[in-house]
A and B are shown apart, each in its own frame.
Chain A
Amino acid sequence: MGGLRTAGDLVARMQMTRKMRIKDAKAYVAEKLKVSSADLSNEHVMREVREELDIGIITSVPGCAKGIEAKARIADLLGIEINSVKRLKNKISF
């Protein structure tokens, strides 16, 4: 679907965490991102959306969320639990 170029990782996460079929997974992510389902695979739209939401982009841009920083924001945005993010939070809570 294009991964970080589009919203492929986000749609995959909904399939993995909520067993959503493709149509439902796309509709769920589209609603959270406030775009149409068709635009989830539109690089022109998704580049801007990902940058604005700071959820990770495919090219290397200084200041943009990287790695687990982006995943922490994705977990909040999609309302899902991401195991590595949960682990990080446990590590940094005193």
Chain B
Amino acid sequence: MKKYLTRMGDGERIEMTVDELKQDFELGTKDAADRGKISPLTQDELDYLLEIFTNPNKIVSVEPGNEVPLTHDIGTLRLMGDQGNSGVGIPLSRVQGIQVHERAFGGDTMELGHIDYSFKPVKPVIAMEQQEMENALLSTIVPLFYGAMPNLGLYYSPDGPFGNPSDLLPMGKIQEAREAQEGAVEHATRDMIYICEKLYDVGCDGINFDTTGAAGDADMKATLHAVEYLKANTNLAIEVGMAGEFVLGMHGGLEYDGVRLAGLYPHQQVKLVEKAGADIFGPVVNTNTSKSMAWNLARAVTFIKACVEVANIPIHVNMGMGVGGSPVFETPPLDSVTRASKAMVEVAKVDGL
């Protein structure tokens, strides 16, 4: 029986028959439907996924006219970063990095980001960030976001004033862990608002809250409060990008607009993000390294399709290493990334990536 080249969730190249692919599509969509209590993909959609996977070409693309715009995360660090992460270590200035994205890569939007990429460390160097933003805005045309992570982890010991929930919880100090997180929400909200208002003052187009929820439900609560304030008091466009497919309950009891944040899946997250006033939502679905890409992508598309269907704002799904059906691998294989992107646009019907 003919076999098709595909990948495991860690990027390993494997071969699967049509029956094997179909089986993994079904299991993947069923897993998402079961966890999210949402509808699985229809037979037509599963058939279209099969068409994408059995396309003999190494890379695939959407049909002409179906192209969608891209927003970014990590700013220009993918060019300049040399911390052993996803950066390629080219010694460019950040303004040069933005210009390269605009004029060489054809980026639809771009963003400026601090080397740490968290909000908190930006506070003491805000004047530098403002001037970098001013310079970039004068010389570029595409919309410019300022991107950073809420990263409430920096408000816990040893980096911040509050006890660390990761230390307190295993000791059974649940109340203390919860109070620490509630304190961090207040501090982080205040810091994010301060930084974003300063950037608005110099003409920044928008803010990208990236990997929201990375430190749990408190992380998301702080972000939503900051977004709400900024939308009421500035003309900033706001994108909220998530860290994981469901909000991790480090606190477990935090709410926004009367809804408990912990455990929310993308189709539920988007309603609160809308309520806070954000303009674009970037949901995440994580990749399981032990499952095939067929399983992972069918699962991811199921979650994102449900999110797109209930959303009233544009959905820019997170795509790349370890998210959106792509393998958890720092050099994501092109065959996987292009197949995942096509499926997200043409099956999940996202508004952007």
Contacts and interface: CB of A to CB of B under 8 A. Distances in A.
B205 interface: yes
Interface stretch (B105-113, B118-126, B174-182): B105-113
Interface in A42-94: 42, 55-56, 58-60, 66-68, 70-71, 74, 81-88
Contacts of B236: 83
A16 B140 contact: no
Contacts of B312: 19
A16 B313 CA distance: 9
Interface in B82-122: 102-103, 105-109
A3 B280 contact: no
A88 B71 CA distance: 25
Interface string B227-261: 00000000111010000000000000000000000
Nearest to B236: A83
Contacts, number: 124
Contacts of A1: 67-70, 108
A52 to B, nearest CB: 16
A12 B142 CA distance: 9
A41 B137 contact: no
Contacts of A59: 103
Interface string A3-28: 11110110111011101111001000
Question: How many interface residues does chain B have, given as a range?
Answer: 35 or more
Contact of B205 (A5, A58, A67, A82): A82
Contacts of B279: 15-17, 19
Interface residues of A, number: 42
Nearest to A74: B141
B314 interface: yes
B332 interface: no
B101 to A, nearest CB: 8
Interface in B11-51: none
Given A4-B102, A9-B141, A22 B352 contact: yes
B137 A19 contact: no
Nearest to B349: A22
A8 B313 CA distance: 18
A84 B205 contact: yes
A4 B98 CA distance: 13
B246 to A, nearest CB: 24
Contact of A15 (B65, B103, B106, B352): B352
A20 B314 contact: yes
Given A12-B352, A21-B351, A22-B351, A3 B102 contact: yes
Interface stretch (B162-170, B196-204, B322-330, B333-341): B196-204
A78 to B, nearest CB: 11
Interface in B307-324: 312-314
Nearest to B353: A1
Nearest 7 Cβ contacts at the A-B interface? A84-B203, A8-B108, A16-B237, A38-B65, A22-B351, A3-B106, A84-B137
Interface of B: 64-65, 67-71, 102-103, 105-109, 137-144, 200, 202-206, 235-237, 239, 279-280, 312-314, 350-352
Given A16-B279, A68-B138, A85-B203, 5 more contacts: A13-B143, A15-B352, A22-B68, A60-B103, A68-B139
